[in-house]
Chain A
Amino acid sequence: MNEAIPQKDFGDLLARNRRKKRARNAAVLAVKYTVMALLAVFLLFPYIFMVSKSLMDLVDANAAVPLLFPKSGVYFSNYKVFFEYWPYFRNSLVVVLINGVFIPLTGFMAAYPFARRQFKGKKIMFSVMMSTVMLPGAVTMVPTYVMFNSFGLVDNLASQWVTAFFGGGAMNIFLMIQFLRAIPKDYDNAATIDGANMLQIFLYIMIPMCKNVLLFIGISTVIGRWSDFQGPLIYLTSLENMTVAVAFYTQFSSSGAAAIFSNAKMAMAVCMTVLPMVLFLIFQKQMIGGIKIGGLKG
């Protein structure tokens, strides 16, 4: 009986302690959520600014005291730039579609023998391929331009997609090699015993097993090419051949014809952002997985 009282006291103490701890945890959590929310507002500021300004009329957009939100009403009419610039959006779609399909495909074709086959000259070919990573684009920029010029590819949309059929760069191929190496050798052996040839193994085993990395490379190619600015700026000179990024730049930069329409400029920015954003949201899992693996293989 004597022991019961201190035991009860002890239990009380524990309970009080637990309650205190829970209160502290709740406080920490509240602070955390506040910080996370503030950070989100800060980081999303470009979206807020862009969308808000795209809905202003010209008076609000060019007001002497800049406004964050529309003052004299919301105007969706700025979004008619999308229809005005549709030809350039179409050009860009052609470019990103061809690149986004064929770069992962031809790159994967090269990655497959490197990762899972033995053949003469594999080592040297692999090191030659990897050494091209070191090469800045500025080195090959001029001769490539001269070569494209002699093939009539300057001021031709084809200049933006002819390279899609040749693997799309060593880094892509290297990433795919990493994936392919992780697949157990038994798959090849079993398929070979069943009489499958190399092409069948490639088509029916390797492609389905690596579809996430193929999707990642495809989607990031699409997003990258959609935003690409330097390539089209060099190669596409007349307006009707331009991709949306350069058409947007030439028309709306400070020397462009549409420069004063800062509201239409932001509407155009919103239109350009929609495709990458939607693709990223749909393929979130593959994209984040790819970024992680791309960043960790050091």
Chain B
Amino acid sequence: MTEKVTSLSENAQGEAVDPGRGNGFKKVRRWIKKDYGCYLFLLPVIFGFFVFTAYPVLSSLLYSFTNYNGVFFSKFGAFNFAQLFDPSEFGLFKDVAFSFGITFLWALISIPLGMVLSFLVALLVNKEVKGVGVFRLLYYMPTIIPGIAISFIWADVFREAGIANQFLAVLGLPSSQWLEGENTALGTLVLTGVWGIGGNVIMWLAALRNIGPELYEAASLDGAGYFTKLFRITIPMCTPMIFYNLINAFIAAMQAFDVYAMVGRGPNDCLYFISIRIYETAFGGSNQYGLACAMGWLMFVVIAILTLILFKTNKWVNYGEGE
């Protein structure tokens, strides 16, 4: 909508310099007549953008410089950000850095692990043999269980008195504290992520299908074995898919919240992810809206920087020749 308005005024200004003013109006009318259909189609999204994105983004920026609590604010300044970067005991630097760190660590372990495991599974079910379709489908099923349901399942399985320890006992292995131990909670969380590899398996299968058979035929003629083909053809040809999914998974992981349903903040706050901290800062009872917005912006900057680093180091991605 604004686009339309600004273009209109631009046009009118441009025409004002010209002697033939009526001509300009005609032009504008012709242009509106030609394009109004497109703007009508875009109207809902444009409206939604202003109300649910542009306005909240600007207000959030404003709030982050105040001590707004939902009712009023009395201070204006960069004190929220100062507090976030204050390493003394009055500041929040240690807490916030821990939250970012633990979220990042979890992303750093679970994303590559999921990628590698799903690749191995995809290799296993790639070839068309009888019934393989059923297995592919079964492998995807765990990802369909709603987050809250799977959280309750894992919270039950990986209790200290849960069935996971029972299983270890049967095997004669020592028991673990799983989700209830400060040192084992993150590892257990990574472990539960293994059940979510189904989506990546589908992606890998699609990427494998996209590789032309002529590459493998040529390699076979040159006497290449299975592993040579795997590391020289299959994996390099899949790197664009890997990179795209790494970026997406990373951005999603930095905002992970669903673990809150499984263990809250974790034993002794050891799984206090940054999204959970922002949620609790805003809605956990203290209504520190300004501070929560400042944390949100910090999160935006951190994600943007880390994504940029990922993009700068993507020399390993093979976009084919000519690009």
Chain A contacts to B: CB under 8 angstroms:
29, 32-33, 35-37, 39-40, 43-47, 49-50, 53, 64-68, 106-107, 109-110, 112-114, 117, 119-122, 124-125, 128-129, 132, 134-147, 149, 163, 165-167, 173, 197-199, 202, 223, 226-227, 229-230, 233-234, 245, 248-249, 252-254, 262, 265-266, 268-270, 272-273, 276-277, 280, 284, 288, 291-292, 295-298
Contacts and interface: CB of A to CB of B under 8 A. Distances in A.
A202 B148 contact: no
B193 interface: no
Contacts of B241: 295-296, 298
A35 B124 CA distance: 8
A121 B3 contact: yes
B267 interface: no
A268 B60 CA distance: 38
A273 B202 contact: no
Given A40-B138, A68-B163, A292-B203, A223 B56 contact: no
B156 interface: yes
A198 B38 CA distance: 9
B142 A66 contact: no
A227 B146 contact: yes
B135 interface: yes
Nearest to A65: B166
A14 B284 CA distance: 76
Interface stretch (B15-23, B85-93, B212-220, B255-263): B255-263
Given A114-B42, A140-B57, A266-B152, 10 more contacts: A43-B141, A66-B166, A68-B163, A113-B37, A142-B289, A163-B48, A248-B149, A252-B152, A292-B202, A297-B244
Interface of B: 3-4, 7, 31, 34-35, 37-39, 41-42, 44-49, 51-53, 55-57, 59-60, 63, 70, 121, 124-125, 129, 131-132, 135, 137-142, 144-150, 152-157, 161-163, 166, 195, 198-200, 202-203, 205-207, 210, 240-241, 243-245, 247, 251, 254-255, 257-258, 260-261, 274-275, 278-279, 282-283, 289, 292-293, 295-297, 299-300, 303-304, 307
Contact of A139 (B4, B60, B207): B60
Given A39-B139, A43-B195, A107 B148 contact: no
Nearest to A199: B37
20 contacts: A40-B138, A43-B142, A50-B149, A117-B38, A120-B35, A136-B300, A141-B292, A165-B48, A166-B47, A166-B49, A199-B37, A266-B152, A266-B153, A269-B145, A269-B149, A269-B153, A270-B149, A273-B145, A273-B149, A296-B206
Nearest to A235: B283
A49 B157 contact: yes
A227 B38 contact: no
B255 A143 contact: no
Nearest to B42: A110
Instruction: Identify whether the interface residues of A are mostly helix, strand, loop, or mixed.
Output: helix
Contacts, number: 276
Given A66-B162, A125-B42, A229-B257, A139 B31 contact: no
B171 to A, nearest CB: 14
A254 B152 CA distance: 10
Closest 3 CB pairs of A and B: A298-B244, A166-B48, A121-B3
A149 B282 CA distance: 14
A230 B4 CA distance: 36
A262 B195 contact: no
B163 A49 contact: yes
A140 B145 contact: no
B55 to A, nearest CB: 7
B309 to A, nearest CB: 15
B196 to A, nearest CB: 10
A46 B195 contact: yes
Contacts of A198: 37-38, 41
A40 B299 contact: no
A235 to B, nearest CB: 10
B49 A291 contact: no
B245 A298 contact: yes
B275 A276 contact: no
